[in-house]
Amino acid sequence: MSATHAAHGHHDDHGPAKGIARWLTTTNHKDIGTMYLVFSLVMFLIGGAMALVIRAELFMPGMQLVDPGFFNTMTTVHALIMVFGAVMPATVGLANWMIPLQIGAPDMALPRMNNFSFWLLVAAFSLLILSLFMPGGGPAAGWTLYPPLVLQTGDALPLAIFAIHLAGASSIMGSINIIVTIMNLRAPGMTLLKMPLFVWTWLITAYLLIAVMPVFAGAVTMLLTDHFFKTTFFTAAGGGDPVLYQHIFWFFGHPEVYIMILPAFGIVSEIIPTFSRKPLFGYDSMVYATASIAFLSFIVWAHHMFTVGMPLAGEMFFMLSTMLIAVPTGVKVFNWTATMWKGSLSFEPPMLFALAFLFLFTIGGFSGLMMAIAPVDFQYHDTYFIVAHFHYVLVPGAVFAIMAGVYFWLPKWTGHMYDMKLAKLHFWLSAIFVNVLFFPQHFLGLAGMPRRIPDYSTQFADWNMVSSIGAFGFGLSQLLFVYIVWNCARGGAKATQHVWDDARTVSLEWTVPSPAPYHTFEEAPVVK
């Protein structure tokens, strides 16, 4: 793709407001993107601290540090924070920063709603964290909030449910904004099949979000009325059905996994061609594979609940449809590998994280295929094998891709290069410790260790100790990431406009100076 050079006049009268007012009232997509990313980092550290409480308790058998109720609260709130407060806002932050820059738009289509959806998220997570201090403790029924267990939650329940509603509303508003922006504000000449892959994956993700966040909101609204208004949606004694909740939850929950991973696919699809010095192999098939994964995500939900007891035909359907997801995912892995084939590869930090993503996400994908087999899942269900599987998908999968994206675009945002040696050190520490942390959990799960327990049989002691050492190593390594980003924001070697080798950077964000001016593409570029 080539673009006629856009005019980037300086508009001093349109610069950012001063002080705190800038951040409270901003409607600028770059400011809001930055706020989402900082918020996500804070949540990542809070959720990570909760994970360390969990791993510290599991360092050895017996009850050491916390009581079982608090342990359950930690597993629940850690998951809610990481899913809705860390991973999703990080990808929304990247979308806010990069989508207008990549499609040649002056800003998001609905800038005021953009600001509102960010601050709604802050309110949501303030409420969720405050729920930890309510009488009876925080929510402790797992992030799935299954009834009837969740209905035993104390005063934290309405806070947690309100927090989920607010976070959901924020996500829906963000998604509407992204769809409307992409569909209406693309630069002249940028047809859908000329859009960068990151934009494509976010367009599909945004449709997924609009389709499934209201489903989750409906489910938790019904929980709320069951708890406070004596309805019996999920109470068998009143004619309701607890399994109905599981169906509704997972109709949301499985696409939610793809909501977290599709933007990660987009980021990796930007990085691998750049550092292979080749165009992406099979662009069109990448788009169709993304759309296929999104479609299939709606028809596989019951593989999360094979053990509730369902007809054999149902098990067969959900087993086979789940396996089918391996086809478009395989297309993607093949295309990324083929992009690197005979490329002139270099291994800067974004590429290192993208490569680790490729290998480690694939491990998570393979363990997912194992669990898709219904009779095998009966053995794995609710064991640490499941914990290992989804953490491989979400940590060296989604989180590594987000870090790759930050290292890729950070010089464009700040105008400075970061310390490459430290960033590579951060990569190697993260890549080693993430495997020390999660790989032994496969062994624990296969040996029968249940998930969500604060104490365990002594036969599981060794691998739990190894896993906890990995957790602390991984957690401490992330402080290095904070330091690198902080340092880069404050100063450093000047980044060029193209940042990376200019032969490799073909999309529109590389046509603006580094750092990207406060307002860009006020005159739309023409894409040829």
Contact predicate 418/492, CB 8 Å: yes
In the residue annotation, 451 being an active-site residue is answered as yes
Report, in Å, the least distance between residue 28 CB and other proteins: 5
Query: Is 509 an annotated catalytic residue?
Result: no
40 annotated active-site: no
Structure tokens that stand for 334 in this block: 């093949």
Shortest Å distance, C-beta 413 to other proteins: 17
Q: How far is residue 33's CA from residue 98's CA, in Å, rounded to a whole number?
A: 9
User: For residues 104 and 2, what is the distance between their CA atoms, to the nearest angstrom?
Assistant: 12
Q: Which is nearer to other proteins, 106 or 492 (CB)?
A: 106
Choice between 190 and 272, CB closer to other proteins: 190
Q: Where are the alpha helices (DSSP H) in 447-528?
A: 461-490
Cβ-contact 353, 264 below 8 angstroms: no
DSSP state at residue 436: H
Please give the Cα distance from 139 to 160 (Å, whole number).
7
Return the SS3 of 315: helix
Please pick, among 29, 165, 254, 426, the residue that the annotation labels catalytic: 254
| Residues at the site binding other proteins, with contacts judged by CB under 8 A | 14, 16-17, 26-28, 31, 105-112, 172, 175-176, 179-181, 183-185, 210-211, 213-215, 217-219, 221-222, 231-233, 238-241, 244, 248, 518-519, 521-522, 524
Contact between residue 296 and residue 328 where contact means Cβ atoms under 8 Å apart: yes
Provide the 10 A C-beta neighbour count for residue 176. 17
Min separation Cβ 24 and other proteins, Å: 13
Find the catalytic residue in 332, 389, 426, 442.
Answer: 332
SS3 per-residue string spanning 247-273: HHHHHHHHHHHHHHHHHHHHHHHHHHH
As measured in angstroms, the least distance from the Cβ of 247 to other proteins is 10
**28 or 274: CB nearest other proteins:** 28
Residue 256 designated active-site: yes
CB atoms inside a 10 Å sphere around CB 58: 25
Instruction: Give me the catalytic one of 76, 117, 131, 171.
Output: 171
Nearer to other proteins, 42 or 211 (CB): 211
Q: Tell which residue, 218, 79, 63, has the closest CA to residue 138.
A: 79
In the complex, least distance from residue 384 CB atom to other proteins, rounded to whole angstroms: 32
Closest-CA residue to 478 (of 43, 33, 35): 43
284 is catalytic: no
Is-catalytic flag, 258? Answer: yes
72 vs 177, beta carbon nearer other proteins: 177
The catalytic residue among 258, 336, 418, 510 is: 258
Q: In angstroms, rounded to a whole number, what is the distance separating the alpha carbons of residues 353 and 373?
A: 31
Q: DSSP 3-state helix, strand, coil percentages of the chain (rounded to 5)?
A: 70, 0, 25
107 is annotated as an active-site residue:
yes
Q: Which is nearer to other proteins, 231 or 487 (CB)?
A: 231
User: In the bound complex, what is the minimum distance in angstroms from residue 177's beta carbon to other proteins?
Assistant: 8
- Contact of 83 with 256, CB cutoff 8 Å: yes
Which of 107, 270, 348, 509 is labelled catalytic? 107
Q: How far is the CB of 516 from other proteins (least distance, A)?
A: 14
The CB-of-237 to other proteins minimum distance in angstroms stands at: 10
Residue number, 116 or 518, with CB nearest to other proteins: 518
> Is 194 annotated as catalytic?
no
Q: Per the residue annotation, which of 76, 269, 367, 507 is the catalytic one?
A: 269
Cβ proximity to other proteins, 251 vs 439, nearer residue: 251
Q: Which of 329, 414, 430, 520 is labelled catalytic?
A: 329
* Angle separating helix axes 349-372 and 326-340, nearest 10 degrees: 150
* Nearest distance, CB of residue 416 and other proteins, angstroms: 24
> Which is catalytic among the residues 186, 303, 442, 519?
303
Nearer CB in complex with other proteins: 52/103:
103
DSSP 3-state of 495: coil
Q: Does 170 qualify as catalytic in the annotation?
A: yes
Integer angstrom CA distances of residue 383 from 195, 244, 282, 376, 397: 42, 23, 38, 12, 21
143 as an active site residue: the answer is yes
What does each C-alpha distance from 142 to 76, 81, 246, 444 come to in angstroms?
Answer: 4, 12, 13, 20
In 3D space, the residue among 408, 405, 366 whose CA is nearest the CA of residue 388 turns out to be: 366
Question: Which residues are designated catalytic?
Answer: 78, 107, 143, 170-171, 254, 256, 258, 269, 303-304, 329, 332, 451
